[in-house]
Amino acid sequence: MSKRFRNILIPVIALLLGIIVGTIIMVATGYNAAAAFSALIAGSFGSPYYIGEVIRQVTPYILAGLAVAFAFRVGLFNIGVEGQFMVGWLASVWVGLAFHLPKFIHLPLAILASIVAGALWAFIPGLLKARFRVHEVIVTIMMNYIALNVVNYIIQNVLTNGKERTANIPDSASLASPWLQSLTQYSRLHWGIVIAIICCFIMWFLLEKTTRGYELRAVGYNQDAAHYAGMSVNKNIILSMVISGAFAGLAGAMEGLGTFGYIAMKSSFTGVGFNGIAVALLGGNSALGVFFAALLFGSLEVGALNMPLQAGVPNELVDIIIALIVFFVASSYIIRWFIERISSKKEAK
């Protein structure tokens, strides 16, 4: 079995296993599995509106997945994408509300603010890791909670007078597109998907086609070998966290400038950053893999909203089914090991 065919087969088997187990659970609880999965597909791709909503949901997942994947490629585990995402969202809306400029200046400035905010938030754990060998997992987890509370404080005490959400940003800072919305029956689709696709190319080009990318990957493979080869391990650790945070902050701008056009106080995390971890793992930490993994997550999340309406499946059961599908897809390493074991036995014979 060729490696390319195996890489295609494994996710397909994982997806089928998730569907099979989900079907068994629905049948055992007295629900029509065929109707439920038909509703899931219809809710994802059944109309231009649903397609637009899937693409809209996929956009921040791509960028969050790139953020996690980039750090992974350099041997770092950035659990702080959620916090970087939130500060990026805040920064983009803040700049959107603070200035009144022409669109060709205002929108790029708001996007740049989100990138800088996310990068600065990730710079702190990167610096602590590089200079003092403080584990990035612990620091980034704690900084998620700091981000949540700092963002809520600024919304209520700086951007508003005690309100729970800001005003809407002006059109000059918005990614919203009436043309894209009209194409998709007035979904919330915006130009952010173009930015996300460009970022996939940027990550691929940076890591695979540049000298700096070679150094970053070398540090990820073996820090000691990279150090003996004359590479600055500490500098590359900090740089990788900054770039990772920049992707995460940009994901926040997709929500602040595109989907919602404002920012509101949060009682808990949004989940986008944590889903980015699963997207990166499922996508094999590659730019192309992240794109397709985000597409799967986005379509499942949007399509699941249709299952209670069309098939009468309770929301709790829907969450279990979606979690099972994601579990089996994310556990593809087990399936890969099983297939490779079978292949090696056949070759031995």
Q: Is the pLDDT of residue 1 over 60?
A: no
pLDDT for the residue numbered 344: 76
Pick from 67, 8, 76, 9: which is nearest to 287 by CA?
67
Instruction: Give the domain 48-295 fold.
Output: ABC transporter involved in vitamin B12 uptake, BtuC (1.10.3470)
pLDDT for the residue numbered 218: 93
Look at residue 35 and give its three-state secondary structure: helix
pLDDT for the residue numbered 59: 98
Least trusted range by pLDDT, from 96-110, 221-235, 269-283, 332-346: 332-346
Rounded CA-CA distance 349/344 in Å is 9
Q: Is the pLDDT of residue 281 over 90?
A: no
pLDDT for the residue numbered 9: 76
Q: Is the pLDDT of residue 81 over 80?
A: yes
Q: Quick one: what percent of the chain has pLDDT higher than 90?
A: 72
Backbone phi, psi, residue 264, to 5°:
-120, 160
| pLDDT top residue among 323 and 292 | 292
pLDDT for the residue numbered 262: 98
Least trusted range by pLDDT, from 4-18, 127-141, 155-169, 179-193: 4-18
| pLDDT top residue among 20 and 109 | 109
* Local confidence band at 232 (pLDDT 50, 70, 90 cut-offs): very high
Where exactly are the structural domains of the chain? 48-295
Q: What value does the mean pLDDT take over residues 216-241?
A: 92
Pick from 163, 162, 117, 166: which is nearest to 143 by CA?
117
Look at residue 229 and give its three-state secondary structure: coil
What is this structure's pTM? Answer: 0.92
Are 325 and 33 in contact by the 8 Å Cβ rule? The answer is: no
